[in-house]
Amino acid sequence: MRKTFELCELDCAACAAKMEDGIRKIEGVSHVQVNFLTRKLTLEAPDDIFEAVLKKAEAVCRKTEPDCRIKR
Amino acid sequence: MTRRQKILLIRIIAAAVTLAAAALVPADGKIKPFLFLVPYIIAGYDVIKRAAVNIIHGQIFDEKFLMAAATLGAWALSEYTEASAVMIFFQIGELFESIAVGKSRKSIAGLMDIKPESAAVLRDGKEVRVSPEEVEKGELVTVRPGEKIPLDGIIVQGSTSVNTAALTGESLPRDAAEGDRVVSGTVNLTGAITVKTESVYKDSTVAKILDMVENSSSKKARTENFITRFSKYYTPCVVGAALLLAVVPPLFAGEWIKWINRALIFLVVSCPCALVISVPLSFFGGIGGASKRGILIKGSNFVEALAKADTVVFDKTGTLTTGTFTVTAVHPEKMSEKELLSVAAAAESRSNHPIAESIIAAHGADIDSSRIGKVNEYAGMGVEAEIDGEYIYAGNRKLMEKAGARWHGCHIAGTVIHIAKKGEYLGHIVITDRLKPDAAAALGELKRLGISKTVMLTGDRAEIACSTAEEAGVDEVRAELLPDGKVEAVESMLRPGKPVAFTGDGINDAPVLARADIGIAMGAMGSDAAIEAADIVLMDDRISAIPEAVRIARRTVAIVWQNIIFALAVKAAVLAAGAFGYANMWLAIFADVGVAVIVIINAMRALSAGKRADKK
C-alpha cells in the first residue's frame, strides 16, 4: 500500500532529508519520499504491517524535528 | 506572516530592546551577566530546548544544537553581549528563511492551482455537487462558464470556448462544441456545457499532471544526490575541525579563549541547510516554471539531461509535420486544375481515407451525389467510381496500370494521386503532409542554442522525407524505417555524456521514447499512453516548446550551480577567515542563515525561467 501524508511544521530541509533516511531504514518500507517543498510524506509498505511502519515513521519524525507531525 | 513567524518577530524585537537596555544600564560586574541572560533567553529559549532534546535523541549535528553550543560557548568566555546578539541575529535569519520558504511554497501551490474543487454531476435528474473524486466514468457533469472542467470527457450538450492556458501555456481559447473532447483542469469560458466523463478523477489529465509535478523531486538529479552526500560528510567534518581548532593550537601556544572562540565560528558555519534547500528548490522551480508553459518534466534528472542535450531526434509525421494531408499541386493533362480537382473529389467523395479527405477539402465546393454511381475501393491502390456514367480511376501507379492509362511521375515530392478516365490519363494531384508552421523556426532556435545535431526519423519514402527535412532544416534524415528501425536508429546515436532527446507524438513510438536519454512526447493533452511513456511531456504540439524547454533547463541548471558555488564559497571563506581570526560570530551567522536566504531567493528565479525566455 502506498499512502501520502501531510507533514505539519516541517521547517528544515536538512531535517526532511534526515527523516527520509531514517524512515527508509525502518523494516518493511519499500518506498519513502519526504518532499520538503510540498510538505508531503509518501510511504509504501505491505498492507498488513503498514500501521506499525507508520508508527515507527512517526517516531523518526519526532526524533528529527520535534514539532513535526504526520497528519493522518 | 504566519502566527509562528509573528511570535518570532515579537521575540526578536523584545530581545533586541532588552539587550540594548542591559548594555546601557549601569550595573556592577556581578549583576551584568544576569541582565544579559534576559535577551538571550527571550531570543533563544526554543533553540536551547531543541538542542537539549536533540542531544537526548542522539542528534548532535543539528543546526539548533550547533547554535546553542556556539552561543553558550561565547557565554562561557564572558562574551555576554555577543552571545545574546548572535542568538538574536540567528533568529532574524531563521525568520527570513521561514518567510522565503513560505513564499516559495506559495508559488508552488499556485502551480497546483489547476485542481478542480468540485463537479456538478447529474444524478436521477438532479444536479449534485460532489468532489471530482466521487464522479464515476460515464456520468454527466455540467460545467458553467468560469468553472474548471473537473474530468476529461466529451461534450454532449452545449458549446463554448475553453481556456487551456493552465495546462498548455497557450492563452488563445479553443472552441469546443458537441462531440469535442475537453480536458480536466482547463477553464470553461463562455457557455454552459454538459460533459460525459471518460475516466475517473484518478486517471484524468489534471490528476496525472499534479502527480507528475509533485513527484518530480523523487527522480533526483546527479547534482542533487551529490549535495545530499556532500552535506552528510560536511557537518561532521566541520565540527571535527572545530574541535581540533579548539584543542590543538592552544596545547602548543596557549590562548585557549582565542582558539575556542574561533572554533565556535566553525560550529555556526557547519550547517548545510543552504545547500540542502537550494538545489532541490531550484530544480522544483524550473520544473514548476516549465509546467506553466505546458512543458511537464518528470524529474530533475531530466532537467539536467536536457540542459546538456547534444542531439535532438524528431519523428516526422505528426511531430515535425501536422499529420494532416493537404493538396500542394494539381497537374492536369488537358483540362483546367479546377476541373481535375472536381473529378477527383467526386471519385473520392465516398471515401474517408485521409488522402480522400484532403482532396475533398481542396475542392471545397459541394459535390452533386446524383452524378456518382457505383464505387469500388481497391485496397493499397485507390478508387474506381462511376461518374456521369463514365469510369474514373483515382489512385497510385498500380491503379493506373490496372486501368491501362499511360501515367507519368511528378517532379514534386509527395504522395501522387493519378487520375484517369477509363484508359485516358487526366493528370495527377500531389498531396503532402505539411510542416508545422513553427518547425523551421524551432529547429533554427535549437541550432542557435548549440544543439550539435538534429535528426528526423520516418517510415516514409526517402524523397518525401528529404524534402520535408530540407524545408524544416534538419541535419540528418533516416527514412523508410520500420518501427523497430526507429529504436535501432536512436540506439546507434546514444553516447555517454551526450544525451539524445527523441520527440514523438507518443502514440506508436513509446519504445523509442523509452530508449532515448530524454523521451519527449508532444500534443499529449489527454493522451495517457504518451504521459506514461515520456520523460518530458509537451501538452500541445508546438515544436517551439522544445527549444523553450532546453532554455528553461539550462537556466535552471545555471541557477543550481550559482547556488552551490556561492554557498560553498562563502562558507569556505568564512571558515578560512575564522581559522585565522579574521571572522567574527556575525559573519559566521551570515554564512549560515544569510546565505540560505539568498540562495532561496535565487532559486525562485528558476520558477520564472519560462516567462523570461518568452520575452526574449
Contact A66 B50 (CB under 8 A): yes
ipTM: 0.79
CB B314 within 8 A of CB B436: no
Q: Which residues contact B365 (CB under 8 A, 6 or more apart)?
A: B342
Looking at residue B50, its amino acid is: R
Contact A14 B215 (CB under 8 A): no
Q: On the CB side of A47, how many CA atoms lie within 13 Å of its CA?
A: 0
pLDDT at B507: 66
pLDDT in tens, B184-220: 888 898 889 999 999 898 888 888 877 777 777 677 7
Q: Which chain A positions have a beta carbon within 8 Å of B281's beta carbon?
A: 13, 37
CA angle, residues B210, B214, B216, in degrees to nearest 5: 115
Percent of chain A scoring above 70 in pLDDT: 100
pLDDT at B616: 41
Cβ–Cβ contact A42 with B under 8 A: yes
Cell of B372: 456518382
**Pick from A17, A36, A66: which is nearest to B53 by CB?**
A66
Can you tell me the distance from the alpha carbon of A2 to that of B26, in angstroms, rounded to the nearest whole number?
A: 64
Query: Is B113 an annotated catalytic residue?
Result: no
Q: Which residues of chain A have pLDDT under 50?
A: none
Can you tell me the distance from the alpha carbon of B596 to that of B570, in angstroms, rounded to the nearest whole number?
A: 11
pTM for the predicted model, two decimal places: 0.77
Cβ–Cβ contact A3 with B under 8 A: no
Can you tell me the distance from the alpha carbon of B271 to that of B91, in angstroms, rounded to the nearest whole number?
A: 15
Q: Which residues of chain B have pLDDT under 50?
A: 612-616
Chain B contact residues (CB < 8 Å to A)? 50, 53, 57, 59, 62-63, 98, 101, 104-105, 108, 214-215, 217-218, 228, 231, 271-273, 276-277, 280-281, 284
pLDDT in tens, B404-456: 888 888 888 778 889 998 888 999 998 888 888 899 999 999 999 999 999 99
What is the interface size between A and B, counted as CB pairs within 8 Å?
49
What are the CA-CA distances from residue B432 to residues B205, B321, B323, B354, B435 (Å)? Answer: 32, 10, 9, 11, 9
Q: Which chain B positions have a beta carbon within 8 Å of A32's beta carbon?
A: none
Can you tell me the distance from the alpha carbon of B288 to that of B214, in angstroms, rounded to the nearest whole number?
A: 9
Q: Does an H or E element contain B419, and which?
A: strand B415-421
Q: How far is B103 from chain A (nearest CA, A)?
A: 11
Quick one: closest CA in B to A18, which residue?
B232
Looking at residue B230, its amino acid is: F
Decide: residue B511, CB within 10 A, 0-12 exposed, 13-18 middle, 19+ buried. middle
> Which residue among the candidates B62, B124, B152, B315 is catalytic per the annotation?
B315
Contact A37 B108 (CB under 8 A): yes
Contact A14 B284 (CB under 8 A): no
DSSP letter for each residue of B27-72: --TTTHHHHHHHHHHHHHHHHHHHHHHHHHHT--S-HHHHHHHHHH
Q: Pick from A4, A10, A24, A38 the residue to mutate for testing the B interface (most B CBs within 10 Å).
A: A38
Q: How far is A37 from chain B (nearest CA, A)?
A: 6
Q: Which residue has the cell 487526366?
A: B426
Quick one: closest CA in B to A35, which residue?
B217
Contact B50 A13 (CB under 8 A): no
List residues bridging with B314 in a β-sheet: B456, B503
Can you tell me the distance from the alpha carbon of B299 to that of B217, in angstroms, rounded to the nearest whole number?
A: 6
Cβ–Cβ contact A6 with B under 8 A: no
pLDDT at B527: 63
Q: Pick from B62, B107, B115 the residue to mutate for testing the A interface (most A CBs within 10 Å).
A: B62
Instruction: For chain B, give the longest Cα–Cα distance.
Output: 123
Which residue segments constitute the domains of chain A, with CATH numbers given? 2-71 (3.30.70.100)
Q: Which residues contact B521 (CB under 8 A, 6 or more apart)?
A: B503, B504, B505, B506, B513, B527, B530, B531, B533, B534, B536, B537, B538
Can you tell me the distance from the alpha carbon of B504 to that of B499, in angstroms, rounded to the nearest whole number?
A: 16
Cell of B6: 509573528
Contact B101 A66 (CB under 8 A): no
**Pick from B50, B214, B228: which is nearest to A17 by CB?**
B228
Looking at residue B439, its amino acid is: A
Which residue segments constitute the domains of chain B, with CATH numbers given? 119-213 (2.70.150.10), 302-321+436-554 (3.40.50.1000), 323-434 (3.40.1110.10)
Cβ–Cβ contact A59 with B under 8 A: no
